[in-house]
Chains A and B, each alone.
Chain A
Amino acid sequence: MAEKFVSMRNLRFLLYEIFDVESLTRYPYFQDHSREIFEMVLDTGEKMGRDLLHPYFAEMDRNPPEFVDGKVKVLPMVRTLMKECGEGGWIGAHASYERGGQQMPTLVLNAFRFIFCAANYSASVYPFLTGGAAQLIESFGSEDLIETYVPRMFSGEWQGTMALTEPQAGSSLTDLATTAEPTDAGYYKIKGQKIFISAADHDGVDNVVNLLLARIKGAPPGVKGISMFVVPQKRIGENGKLEGNDLLTTGIYHKLGYRGSPITQLSLGENDDCRGWLVGEPNKGLRYMFQLMNEARIDVGMSAAAIASAAYYASLQYTQERPQGRPVTSKDPTQPQVPIIEHADVKRMLLFQRAVVEGSMSLIFQCARYVDLSHVLDGEEKERCELLLDLLTPIAKSYPAEMGSLAVSAGLQCLGGYGYCDEFPLEQHYRDMRIHPIHEGTTGIQGMDLLGRKVVMKGGKAFMLYLQELEKTIEAARALEPLKPHADDLQRATETLKDVTGRLTGIAAEGKIDLFLADATLYLELFGIIAIAWQWLVQAVAARKALDTDSIEAERNFYTGKLYTCRYFFAYELPKIEGLARRLKACDGLTVEMKEAFFED
């Protein structure tokens, strides 16, 4: 039997039973869709994940991209994958019919992408990064830019990237230094350096289209002077043929994990001939980029959950097959050993993984639903979805990334010494996972984004809407007798969240911004645990109701497993907020006061 890396049953549970994706087909934009179509999308995703991506999971890690004679070489499967994803319409699936897409709901696409990420994270990056970059050009670029670039990106012939980071400007985009000088010919001359750019050079495509941030000469300092440009690796010459664009790859990085995708270092305009085309208006680049960035952040969370899913199934299989030890209640050495899944501590590690994986997935699908609804709703309802999405984005990025790292570690632990060896996939999942708390905004940045921006934006409106969502779920759970204790627990957790948030915003009102933000990462953690508890309760309500009517044994096992995992989360994870709350309310400025000199010796 093929190696399992994702539960298709769980994807269907989230799509149909929790987030009711079929209800979207009521709106004109999605009216051509149906469950039958969604099912074929899932089936195709499963097949491609199993046959096209997963077979290269280890090979891409062991044969990473090579930098030879100034060019990046990747495995031939990258070209095959880009071609299949392009010709299959998967790169541009989200786009409108007019733009060559299929108006596919984000919920369904997320499920499709989740399968790819779980099958082989490195490989999945190539097509989906291209889709995101193309979407930016579609949203903000001129018709000319759209016509020139988007169709070739959708077809998988050209790779898309997002090029932000520079040697001196990583988390601090305000310090970007790449310049853009206007010319009379409609393009800008770009000069500067970019680092850590995913897939910005490789031979799996014919060209690379970088969505690049730079400053137009004379622009205001800081983030208000950043513009966005399309800077292709090869530009279209006068004869319609591709020609060099004075964009040089100066090296690739050798990484801990996520090795199948090249991370490049770029030098632009060394010969004063690197051309870029402005996207939208000058100085609005960061705002545009954040459209992609916010989606990219949710994608990071999804990828993290997907890797943790693959690790969970690998460790589950091992624990079912590996005999070791005997029950603690019967140590008779003449009796055969039991599979290690029978030991309570191993079950705890499996439950922990499942709680993280499926809790994270649920939150990510929740966000996808807000994306879809904000697309079809108007006025206040649209604003509600957008605000909730904004608020939850840092959580959807960082909870799966941070907790997924721990979940994969637990998966590796289940295999003992074998988990540490490369004949099992756990060590690679462990390495692949570790990028996620770092890229697309580190966990520290997410914490500051949540507390310093999202919670307080519009007078705390998003936060209030979020509390209403929690309340709705608490009420739904209260109506079901077995879930009442969880409803009470989430109610208390909500009070804690309000209490902590009030204390911190009070500090901010006193003008002590350094104290307010000092432990923003811990606030993010507390907020994240409560958000995942909320999603577990949402799932438990559906599972509880389904158990009342479903008599098929496999289905009953599925729902009962959900209820156990929910119980696990409320019993083992949710109580962690108490310690975090205590620390957050102290506001004693310990880390602010600590001096650099005290760290020595």
Chain B
Amino acid sequence: MDILVCMKQVPDTETKIVINPEGTGIVTDGIKYVMNPYDEFAVEEALKIKEKMGGTVTIVSMGPQRATEAIRTALAMGADKGVHLCDDAFEGADSYSTAKALAAAIKPLSYDIILGGKQAVDHDNAQVYAALAELLDISHVSIVTQLDVAEDGKSAVAQREVEGGAREVIEVSLPAFIACQKGLNEPRYASLPGIMKAKKKPIDVIDLAKSGLSADEVGEKGAKLKIRKFFLPPEREAGKILEGEPEELATQLVKLLREEAKAI
């Protein structure tokens, strides 16, 4: 099986997010970046499929130079090679222009299945995989918590979370994009021999020219979404504690729900 994993490098979830004074983004100085936690499930699943069925695992990522670190981490976990879309022109992308660039990098590759996290924890849009699947003209299954690839590698059965804690079972023909959710597996830790080997594994860097796209199609220029302003949600006001007899409290509560909260 030729297995691809779409992976994004994001700020560590422990990072204290500070919005820059202009409100155009976050302060990135001193931020530690890590592999998107949902993508870790995708890497792990890819490695498990490879262990079972053979083949190669290729990590595809778009991001600045530093994204190499996250690709190497995936290689240290056991992936075989990386593809890194890296060019100033890719910066400022939204989900659509990201998908467009990823699709350009993926199209020339041979692939039987593509995995990725259900969303990246930075922008939390959860849109890239669907757009990418559309651009590649393949199916996608989102929020997957169990995956069984058929022995012939031609199809897979995926379980996905739906509302109310129910599970939906979907059979999909491959290639397809599988968007991975927590619970799918326990991502392995990088091993030390894996770390040592990772630096010798190939990473193919794809710049704008190599992607075959024009500057207008990618990054901020190719984005359909414009972010006007970054701001933190207003701090919650302190709660009110009502005092008095139960009958009185009920009256007060109904009044507040009606007049202040406008909930009834």
Binding site for B on A (CB under 8 A): 1-2, 8, 32, 34, 36-37, 39-41, 43-44, 47-48, 52, 84, 87-90, 93, 102, 104, 552-555
21 A-B contacts (beta carbon < 8 Å): A32-B196, A36-B72, A36-B199, A37-B196, A39-B69, A40-B76, A40-B190, A43-B190, A44-B76, A47-B189, A48-B189, A88-B189, A88-B190, A88-B191, A89-B191, A89-B193, A90-B192, A102-B196, A104-B192, A554-B29, A554-B30
B14 adjacent to chain A (CB < 8 Å): yes
Say yes or no: is B19 at the interface (Cβ < 8 Å to chain A).
Answer: no
With the chains together, A41 CA to B76 CA distance in Å? 10
Given contacts A36-B199, A43-B73, contact A88 B29 (CB under 8 A): no
Please tell me if B180 contacts chain A, counting CB pairs below 8 Å. no
CB pair A44 B195 closer than 8 Å: yes
User: Contacts of B199 on A, CB cut-off 8 Å?
Assistant: 34, 36-37
Closest-CB distance, B71 to chain A (whole angstroms): 11
Residues on A with C-beta less than 8 A from B30 are 552-555
Given A36-B69, A39-B69, CB of A87 within 8 Å of CB of B191: yes
CA distance A555 to B27 in the complex (A): 14
**How far does the Cβ of A115 sit from chain B's closest Cβ, in whole Å?**
13
Chain A residues positioned under 8 Å from B69 (CB to CB): 36, 39
Q: Which residues of A contact B34 (CB under 8 A)?
A: 43
Partner of A41, one of B14, B29, B72, B192: B192
Q: Which of A84, A102, A553 contacts B193 (CB 8 A)?
A: A102
The CA of A88 and the CA of B149, in the complex, are separated in Å by: 27
**A287: shortest Cβ distance to chain B, in Å?**
30
Q: If A2-B14, A89-B192 touch, does A40 touch B72 (CB 8 Å cutoff)?
A: yes
Assuming A36-B72, A39-B69, A43-B73, what are 7 further A-B pairs, CB within 8 angstroms? Answer: A8-B32, A36-B69, A36-B199, A40-B190, A52-B189, A88-B190, A553-B29
Q: Which residue of B lies closest to A50 (CB)?
A: B14
B198, CB-defined interface residue at 8 Å: yes
Query: Chain A's nearest CB lies how many Å from the CB of B134?
Result: 34
A88-B189, A89-B192 known; A40 vs B73 contact (CB < 8 Å): yes
Complex CA–CA separation, A41 to B34 (angstroms): 14
Interface hits, B187-228 → A, CB 8 Å: 189-193, 195-196, 198-199
**Docked-complex contact A40 and B195, CB < 8 angstroms:** yes
User: Which 5 residue pairs of A and B lie closest in terms of their CB atoms, listed nearest first?
Assistant: A89-B192, A88-B191, A554-B30, A552-B29, A40-B195
Contact-residue bracket for chain B: 10 to 19
Docked CA distance A189–B190 (Å) = 43
Over the window 57-79 of chain B, the binary record of Cβ atoms lying under 8 Å from chain A Cβ atoms (1 yes, 0 no) is 00000000000010011001000
- Nearest chain A CB to B61's CB is how many angstroms away? 16
Contacts of B29 in A (CB 8 A): 552-554
A83 to chain B, nearest CB (A): 11
- Chain B residues positioned under 8 Å from A8 (CB to CB): 32
Cβ-defined contact, B72 with A88, below 8 A? no
**Which B residues lie within 8 Å of A87 (CB)?**
191
Q: In the bound complex, what is the Cα–Cα distance between A555 and B30 (angstroms)?
A: 8
Alpha-carbon distance between A554 and B15 when the two chains are bound, in angstroms: 12
Nearest Cβ on chain A to B228's Cβ, whole angstroms: 26
Q: Is the CB of A44 within 8 A of B189?
A: yes
Q: Are A40 and B191 in contact (CB under 8 A)?
A: no
- The complex places the Cα of A399 from the Cα of B128 at a distance, in Å, of 54
The distance in angstroms between the C-alpha atoms of A88 and B193, with both chains bound, is 7
Contact between A93 and B192 (Cβ–Cβ < 8 Å)? Answer: yes
Q: Give the residues in chain A near B190, CB-CB below 8 Å.
A: 40, 43-44, 88
Which of A2, A44, A90, A104 counts the most chain B CB atoms within 10 A?
Answer: A44
Cα-based distance from A87 to B72 in the complex (angstroms) = 19
**Measured between alpha carbons, how far is A41 from B195 in the docked complex, in Å?**
8
**B189: which A residues are within 8 A, CB to CB?**
44, 47-48, 52, 84, 88
Q: How far is the CA of A447 from the CA of B29 in the complex (A)?
A: 46
- Give B135 Cβ to nearest chain A Cβ, in Å: 33
CB distance from A482 to the nearest CB of B (A): 24
Residues of B within 8 A of A47 (CB): 189
| Minimum Cβ distance to chain B for residue A531 (Å) | 32
Chain B positions 64 through 97: 1 when the CB is less than 8 Å from some CB of chain A, otherwise 0: 0000010011001000000000000000000000
Note all chain B residues with C-beta closer than 8 A to A41.
192, 195
Q: Which of B14, B191, B195 contacts A1 (CB 8 A)?
A: B14
* Nearest CB in chain A: distance from B121 CB, A: 14
- Give 1 or 0 for each of B240-253: 1 = CB within 8 Å of chain A CB: 00000000000000
Q: For A52, what are the chain B residues with a Cβ–Cβ distance below 8 Å?
A: 189
How distant is B65 from chain A, measured CB to nearest CB, in Å? 12
CA distance A23 to B190 in the complex (A): 25
Which A residue's beta carbon lies closest to that of B73? Answer: A40
In the complex formed, the residue of B with least CB distance to A40 is: B195
Assembly CA distance A528 to B219 (angstroms): 57
Chain A min CB distance to B54 (Å) = 21
* Chain B residues with CB below 8 A from A40, complex form: 72-73, 76, 190, 195, 198
Q: Within 8 Å CB of A102, what residues of B?
A: 192-193, 196
Q: A554 vs B31: C-alpha distance in the bound complex, in angstroms?
A: 10
Is B14's CB under 8 angstroms from A37's CB? no
B15-40 contacts to A, CB under 8 A, are 29-30, 32, 34
